[in-house]
Structures are given as C-alpha cells and as structure tokens.
Amino acid sequence: MPEARPISRVLRALLGLAMLALVIPQVLRASTGGQIQVVGVFFGLVMFYTAVHFVVGRYFEWLHPWVGAVVAVMPALAVFLVGAVFGIGAGVPEAGVVLFIGASLVLIAASGQPGCEVLAFPAVLLGKRTHLACLLFSPLDWIEGTFFSGSTN
C-alpha cells in the first residue's frame, strides 16, 4: 500500500494537532474523575477499533474501502453524538472522541499511512495497515498523487 502524500500528511498532522490543542486544555481543567473518564473513552475506542481492525483484516478484506470507512467511523460518531445531543456524560464522550481522533490523525501522519484514521492505533499495534479509506484525506491523497505523481514518496 502506498504512503500518504506529503501535503495530506501535513494536513492530517495539523488537523490532529488542532484537535488536541482544543481538547487537552479542557481535559486538564477537568476533575481527576473527569480526566480518568476521558482517558477511559480514549482507550475504549482504541480497544474497540483494534477489534474492528482485526475482524475487518481477517474476515472482510473484500469490503469496499469507502463503505468500510463509513461503517468504521460510525461508532466514534455515535459516541460523540450521544454525548453532544443527549448531554450524557457532561462532555466526557465528546472529549474522549476528539482526543482519540486528534491523536489518531497525528499518528497516521507520522507513520505515513493513507488509510482510515480511526484505525491508526490498531494498525500500529497490530503491525498491519487497513485497506479502508480515510473519508477526509483519501480523496486528497488521490488528487495529490494524480497531479504531483513526480513527487518522491
């Protein structure tokens, strides 16, 4: 699988760092219990997506990259929306998801992976990249590859 292109790698890193800059001060201002809960949501998502990565990699290699990406992003989106829309968890679910996505984007940019951002941690933990697309950056990777095919990467 090819590496992510330089421009999209930089944009992944910048978006991830912006998300982390947004959420980390809020987490640090929270009570110790709130901080533990946010970290719990973060590690819960890492564990959940590690299981998803394993199952998709083993049993669903045939899954279309875009369909799989949409399905893969839905649980994190659901956790975020449950907290935001229904007010459950006093901001903890949202902070945990933003922390997870931000850290995943930084990790995926650093590793050069072109795939699904929610599967960045499992890809590193399991040592196997996913074939699923990144909803935001895979189109940019394609455009960058088409127009700048002479770039070294």
**pLDDT tens readout for residues 63-85:** 777 787 788 888 888 888 888 77
How far apart CA 95 and CA 80 sit, in angstroms, is 8
* Domain count for the chain: 1
In a domain, 153, yes or no: no
Q: Is 74 exposed, middle or buried (0-12, 13-18, 19+ CB in 10 A)?
A: exposed
In a domain, 103, yes or no: yes
From residue 20, give the alpha-carbon distance in Å to each of 40, 56, 77, 86: 16, 28, 17, 24
Domain range for residue 96? 6-147
Radius of gyration of the chain measured on its C-alpha atoms? 16
For 77-109, the pLDDT digits (tens) are 888 888 877 666 677 889 999 999 999 999 988
- Give the mean model confidence (pLDDT) for residues 106-129: 83
In a domain, 152, yes or no: no
In a domain, 10, yes or no: yes
In a domain, 40, yes or no: yes
In a domain, 106, yes or no: yes
